A and B are shown apart, each in its own frame.
Chain A
Amino acid sequence: MGEYVRDAFIVLFSLTGLFFFVGGTVGLLRCPDLYTRLHPSTKCDTLGACSILLALIIHAGFSFVTLKLLAVAFFLLLSSATCGHAIGRSAFRSGVVPWHKPGVKPWPTEEENP
C-alpha cells in the first residue's frame, strides 16, 4: 500500500514538472520580445525543475542523495532568478526596445512626463 502511494506522488510531481516545462516552452516560442520571454523562462523553468527534483527526492528516500538533490535545487533557485535579472538589465542597458503595439509608445518620454 505504501509503495503505491509513494509511486502516485512521484508520478504526480513529475507530471506537474512536465506541465510547467511545456508551459515555459510555449511561452518562449509565443512571446513577442525579450522582456516577455524572461517571464516563462525564469519562472516556469524553475518550478518545473524543482517539481521533478521533489519527485526524485521522494524516489530516493532519506539518504545522502537527498542532501545533494536539495543542494542542486538550492543552486537552481539561486541562479535562475539572478540570471533573469542580469539578462534583463544587460538588455535594457544595451538599448533593446520593449515590444509595443504599432502606434503606441513603450513609455512616456521626458517632455511628457518630467
Chain B
Amino acid sequence: MNYFFLAAAAAVMVNAFLCLYQGAKGPTIQDRVISINIVNTKTLVVLLLVFFVIGQPAMYLDIALIYTLLNFVVTIAVSRYIETERTAVG
C-alpha cells in the first residue's frame, strides 16, 4: 500500500506542475491566484500521502492543518488587495 500511495503522490505532483505552468502563463493576476490555490491544495494532498508513507501521521497532521489555513488566508488576502487597489491586469 505504501508504493501505491507514493505513485498517487507522484501523479498529483505531475498535475501540480501543470497547474504551475498555467499560473506562470495566466494573463491576469486572478488567474495566477487560482493556480496558486490549486497548487497549494495538491501540495497538501502530497504532504498527507507522504506523511502516511513515512509513518506516525499523528505527529505531522498539524502541519497539514496549518497549510490549509495558510492557503485560505493567502488567497483571501490577495483577492481583497486586488479588489481594493483596482489594478485590473498585471
Residues of A within 8 A of B (CB): 7, 10-11, 14, 17-18, 21-22, 24-25, 28-29, 34, 37-38, 41, 45-46, 48-49, 52-53, 56, 59-60, 63-65, 68-69, 71-72, 75-76, 78-80, 82-83, 86-87, 89-91, 93-96
- From the candidates B1, B8, B33, B65, name the one contacting A52 in the complex (CB within 8 A): B8
A68 adjacent to B58 (CB under 8 Å): yes
Question: How far, in angstroms, from A10 to B4 measured CA to CA in the complex?
Answer: 10
Residues of B within 8 A of A (CB): 1, 4-5, 8, 11-12, 15, 18-19, 21-22, 28, 30-31, 33-35, 37-38, 41-42, 44-45, 48-49, 52, 57-58, 61-62, 64-65, 68-69, 71-72, 75-76, 79-80, 82-83, 86-89
Number of A-B contacts (CB under 8 A): 138
B19 adjacent to A25 (CB under 8 Å): yes
- From the candidates A38, A59, A95, name the one contacting B52 in the complex (CB within 8 A): A59
B82 adjacent to A18 (CB under 8 Å): no
- From the candidates B12, B37, B48, name the one contacting A41 in the complex (CB within 8 A): B37
Sample of 25 A–B contacts (CB below 8 Å):
A14-B5, A25-B15, A41-B35, A45-B42, A52-B48, A53-B48, A56-B49, A65-B57, A72-B44, A72-B61, A75-B68, A76-B41, A76-B68, A79-B75, A83-B71, A83-B75, A87-B33, A87-B34, A87-B75, A90-B30, A90-B79, A90-B82, A93-B83, A94-B88, A96-B88
CB-CB under 8 A from B68, the residues of chain A are: 72, 75-76, 79
Q: How far is the CB of A66 from chain B (nearest CB, A)?
A: 10
B76 adjacent to A82 (CB under 8 Å): yes
Q: How far is the CB of A53 from chain B (nearest CB, A)?
A: 7
Q: How far is the CB of A81 from chain B (nearest CB, A)?
A: 11
Given A56-B52, A94-B83, A96-B30, CB of A75 within 8 Å of CB of B44: no
